[in-house]
Chains A and B, each alone.
Chain A
Amino acid sequence: MSVFSVDHLRVRFGGVQAVRGVSFGVESGRTLAIVGESGSGKSASLLGATGLLPGSASVEGNVLHRGQEILGLPDRDLRRLRGPQIGFVFQDPLSNLHPLKTIGDQIGEAISVHQRITRRQKHERVLALLDDVGIADPQARFSDYPRHLSGGMRQRVMIAIAIALDPGLIIADEPTTALDVTVQAAILDLLKRLQEEHGTALIFVSHDLAVVSDIADDVVVMRDGLVVEQAPADDIYLRPRQDYTRELLGAARLGGPKSYAVQRDRQATRPLLDVQAVARSFASRPVLDDVSFTIGEAEILGLVGESGSGKSTIGRLIAGLDRPNAGRISLKGRDYSQPGSGGVLPGDLRRSIQVVFQDPYASLNPRRRIEAILADPFVIHGTVDKAELREKVKQLVTDVELSHDVLERLPSQLSGGQRQRVAIARAIALRPSLIVADEPVSALDITTQAKVIRLLARLRDKLGVSFLFISHDLGVIGELCDRVIVLEKGQIVEVGQTQQVFERPAHAYTRRLLASIPGRKRPPAEAELEDVIYG
């Protein structure tokens, strides 16, 4: 008998039917992966089934927990299930943990709201849980706040909350999406280990077939609120029956990049950007140490490293948003960033160096229409004629392969991929020679990632612009970048042609990063799959 199953589940938000009748189930000790793009209804169906959606959502169908119908149960009864019977792990552990409560309190509460225990017992059980999820020195971490922990540690805390009462089912909603590749691998291992030890049923939601490839027993592929394909994992990965599953498989980088960027030795050309012996520290904590590299004309240079390795600091220094403590940075032989205080980039250099940030939700002003956002660069740098402005903005939108009707919309009316295209359009508006792209696809679905990456490659070919492409994900880097720099703790540990670094990594750290790419146990399916998406 299934631990948890839904049958003909439908979820509606106002006039929007988010889930249109889905059925799936999971048994003890098994892992069900639900895969689909954002908006496919995968989270909505699980949250709806467990009563965690706001009251404005209406949920219909059947939800069985150990054979008992739980849909429509009063709040009080549902509350008794959540925690002791069903544990939850959500996507972003920072926003999902209470910022003003210590992690010890938050884990302890998961126990004390369901069981009467003394403070001392609670304290001990929390310490045991912290130890169980692999947090070193639990006693010292007990009274830390979430902001004191790294992303991976926070997600371990979330998992500790989920397993606190040893539930029979854990629902993990994109639990590794916001994390570094290496941390993701560790969290996946942890979930798998806990599941094996406790015989828990696991429902794992993800947008990426590669992430779930090592742990899924069964896979449900969802799209537009419907189940597209539902099969044991082997069938999904080896014998996908639906086109959409093939498309998802095509976008998933199982165990490494599908293909490498076409090798062109762009470095040989005159270097565009020259970074010499740059160092930066914040409050006597060194972040970067003796970093030197160059970027050639029309070259895409990948910069890879984990959170805290200093890669975003390099991006900020090159973009002229910060100054180094030592060393210098020059563009076309012109120094512009030296040690010292104050001073933004001179106007002409600002035009030449543009930035695309990670979060397309945060980097666009939510109250301004796309047309106004895209007109800004031209207005700031001199164009005032209305008709001319409109033409230029339209051209930009065409350049990033969006339709003209987005101009009238607000950022909130666009999808994540569309927003990131707008951010890219804003960056290329003034025909810069270099764009610093800081994790530009990390917040996007895997299928959208593939599309944005191809857009960047085409823009490079068309406009001859160079990119510094910052990412924690080697898979993305491999498909796009000509060369790659590997950064560890503020120091460059490896530089080289992308394919060479991937196939013959020289440094142990690089090898560790490569080994963390999910899906290595599932060799990429047959080559023609790529044509579906790369055609």
Chain B
Amino acid sequence: MVKQFSSVVLRSISTLVIVLILSFFITRIAYRNPAAMLAPRNATQESIDAVARALRLDDPWYLQLWYYLFRGPDIQGAPMGLMHWPPALGYSFRKQAPVTDLILAKAPVTLSLAIGALVIWMTIAIFSGVAAARWQGRLIDHVLAFFAYVGLSVPTFLSGILISYFLFFQLSNQGIHWFPSSGYVPLSEDPLQWARHLALPWATLAIAEIGLFQRMVRASMLDVLGHDFIRTARAKGVPEGRVYFSHALKSALNPILTLGGLELAAIMGGAIVTETIFGLDGVGRMAIAAALEGDFPVVIGTTIFAASAFITTTLAVDLVAQWRDPANRN
């Protein structure tokens, strides 16, 4: 058990290191002259050079990687270096703040968005997927399939705008102010406002995922429903609802959990379109802004944040799957 755990940790860390080195090199290739991007627009060559020297951007790449990983020059009093405690992801030249602080400030928004959407889409997808499987080939199955495929095929930028238009703009015109158009209120401040502000973005994200997951739940359920143990449950006189939710769903859940973890991680890495439409100041928007402005420490930092999200969720899914597997019990 300890051996298994340490190997998982080791694998996660090495994945992170590889991501870090790759993103470091990609930013080196993408931003040929970062000092020029950082310096004021009409700066002379001397002042650009001075910026480069001050940030040690004129050093060879291996030294820069060393500074990034271990200990670079303190910038504005903020330390640099991942192996340092607390780990510092560098210093944003544009925002004039440590990248770690920036990400930690935006992470709750992204996390709220992703996890809330996950809860909504999983709940709806499971119930509608089970219903589609139970009444396979009947009218309700076709209706659910229709909505699933519509949700799947409408791109987020369209569904987001439509939701915003109807549920915010049109409702407000009618004098109904249920949902604000944008903004974010921390959960700790006011849970109701938090949910109100996130409701429309959640719906936008969930619509696309419900389609996918409803189809998966249906297929997985139909597969499991053919198994002998379902017949045993019926032979015991178990009511149909319980046959579906307690017996069949329990077995059908594994592929759904796996994909759920991956989709959750992808949203944490940046639901950029949704964040932009609903004015949510999340990690995704910050990453895009930084990439366009050449603020490469932020680019690397958000990449590492996204990679960590992937590793954590897949790890969590693995743990849940292992815990569910009777081979690992007793």
Chain A residues close to B by CB (< 8 Å): 47, 50, 52, 75, 79-84, 87-88, 90, 92, 95-101, 109-110, 113-114, 143-148, 158, 161
Report whether A97 and B237 are in contact in the complex, using a CB–CB cutoff of 8 Å. Answer: no
Chain B residues close to A by CB (< 8 Å): 227-229, 231-240, 242, 247, 250-251, 324, 326-327, 329-330
What residues on A are CB-neighbors of B329 within 8 Å?
145
Report whether B324 and A88 are in contact in the complex, using a CB–CB cutoff of 8 Å. Answer: no
- Give, as a whole number of angstroms, the nearest-CB distance from A153 to chain B: 14
What residues on B are CB-neighbors of A95 within 8 Å?
227-229
Complex partner residue of B237 from A82, A100, A101, CB under 8 angstroms = A82
Report whether B250 and A113 are in contact in the complex, using a CB–CB cutoff of 8 Å. Answer: no
Top 5 A-B residue pairs of the complex, sorted by shortest distance between their CB atoms: A145-B326, A83-B237, A88-B235, A82-B237, A95-B228
Given A95-B227, A100-B326, A148-B330: A161 and B232 interface contact (C-beta under 8 Å): yes
- Beyond contacts A99-B229, A144-B330: 4 other A-B pairs, Cβ-Cβ < 8 A, are A80-B237, A83-B236, A88-B236, A96-B228
- Give, as a whole number of angstroms, the nearest-CB distance from B246 to chain A: 8
Given A100-B251, A101-B250: A148 and B231 interface contact (C-beta under 8 Å): no
- Give, as a whole number of angstroms, the nearest-CB distance from A322 to chain B: 21
Report whether B237 and A81 are in contact in the complex, using a CB–CB cutoff of 8 Å. Answer: yes
Complex partner residue of A84 from B229, B237, B242, CB under 8 angstroms = B237
What residues on A are CB-neighbors of B228 within 8 Å?
90, 92, 95-96
Given A90-B232, A92-B228, A145-B329: A98 and B237 interface contact (C-beta under 8 Å): no
CA distance A95 to B228 in the complex (A): 6
Report whether B237 and A113 are in contact in the complex, using a CB–CB cutoff of 8 Å. Answer: yes
15 A-B pairs with CB atoms under 8 Å apart are A75-B240, A80-B237, A82-B234, A82-B235, A82-B236, A90-B235, A92-B228, A96-B231, A97-B232, A98-B247, A100-B326, A101-B247, A109-B238, A146-B326, A148-B330
What residues on A are CB-neighbors of B327 within 8 Å?
147
- Give, as a whole number of angstroms, the nearest-CB distance from A133 to chain B: 16
Complex partner residue of A98 from B232, B239, B240, B324, CB under 8 angstroms = B232
Report whether B236 and A113 are in contact in the complex, using a CB–CB cutoff of 8 Å. Answer: yes
What residues on B are CB-neighbors of A81 within 8 Å?
237
Query: Which A residue sits closest to B253, measured CB to CB?
Result: A100
CA distance A84 to B228 in the complex (A): 20
What residues on A are CB-neighbors of B235 within 8 Å?
50, 52, 82-83, 87-88, 90
CA distance A50 to B251 in the complex (A): 25
Report whether B330 and A90 are in contact in the complex, using a CB–CB cutoff of 8 Å. Answer: no
CA distance A90 to B233 in the complex (A): 12
Complex partner residue of A96 from B232, B239, B250, CB under 8 angstroms = B232
- Give, as a whole number of angstroms, the nearest-CB distance from B137 to chain A: 10
Query: Which B residue sits closest to A92, measured CB to CB?
Result: B228
CA distance A50 to B231 in the complex (A): 11
What residues on A are CB-neighbors of B238 within 8 Å?
79, 109, 113
Report whether B330 and A100 are in contact in the complex, using a CB–CB cutoff of 8 Å. Answer: no
What residues on A are CB-neighbors of B232 within 8 Å?
88, 90, 96-98, 158, 161
Query: Which A residue sits closest to B327, measured CB to CB?
Result: A147
Report whether A100 and B324 are in contact in the complex, using a CB–CB cutoff of 8 Å. Answer: yes
CA distance A81 to B234 in the complex (A): 11
* Residue from the set A75, A98, A114, A145 with the largest chain B CB neighbour count within 10 Å: A98
What residues on B are CB-neighbors of A80 within 8 Å?
237
Given A79-B239, A110-B236, A161-B236: A52 and B231 interface contact (C-beta under 8 Å): yes
Query: Which B residue sits closest to A107, measured CB to CB?
Result: B236
CA distance A97 to B228 in the complex (A): 8
Query: Which A residue sits closest to B225, measured CB to CB?
Result: A54
Query: Which A residue sits closest to B230, measured CB to CB?
Result: A98
- Give, as a whole number of angstroms, the nearest-CB distance from B136 to chain A: 9
Complex partner residue of B251 from A84, A99, A110, A113, CB under 8 angstroms = A99
Query: Which B residue sits closest to A51, measured CB to CB?
Result: B234
Query: Which B residue sits closest to A98, measured CB to CB?
Result: B229
- Give, as a whole number of angstroms, the nearest-CB distance from A174 to chain B: 12
Report whether B233 and A114 are in contact in the complex, using a CB–CB cutoff of 8 Å. Answer: no
What residues on B are CB-neighbors of A90 within 8 Å?
228, 231-232, 235
Query: Which B residue sits closest to A161, measured CB to CB?
Result: B236
Report whether A113 and B231 are in contact in the complex, using a CB–CB cutoff of 8 Å. Answer: no
- Give, as a whole number of angstroms, the nearest-CB distance from B3 to chain A: 14
What residues on B are CB-neighbors of A50 within 8 Å?
235
Query: Which A residue sits closest to B232, measured CB to CB?
Result: A96
CA distance A95 to B224 in the complex (A): 11
What residues on B are CB-neighbors of A114 within 8 Å?
237
Report whether A113 and B326 are in contact in the complex, using a CB–CB cutoff of 8 Å. Answer: no
Query: Which B residue sits closest to A50, measured CB to CB?
Result: B235
What residues on B are CB-neighbors of A47 within 8 Å?
231
CA distance A97 to B236 in the complex (A): 11
Given A95-B227, A95-B229: A109 and B236 interface contact (C-beta under 8 Å): yes
- Give, as a whole number of angstroms, the nearest-CB distance from B12 to chain A: 27
What residues on B are CB-neighbors of A100 within 8 Å?
250-251, 324, 326
What residues on B are CB-neighbors of A83 within 8 Å?
235-237
Query: Which B residue sits closest to A162, measured CB to CB?
Result: B235
Report whether A113 and B242 are in contact in the complex, using a CB–CB cutoff of 8 Å. Answer: yes
Report whether A148 and B237 are in contact in the complex, using a CB–CB cutoff of 8 Å. Answer: no
CA distance A398 to B137 in the complex (A): 44
CA distance A109 to B235 in the complex (A): 12
Report whether A148 and B236 are in contact in the complex, using a CB–CB cutoff of 8 Å. Answer: no
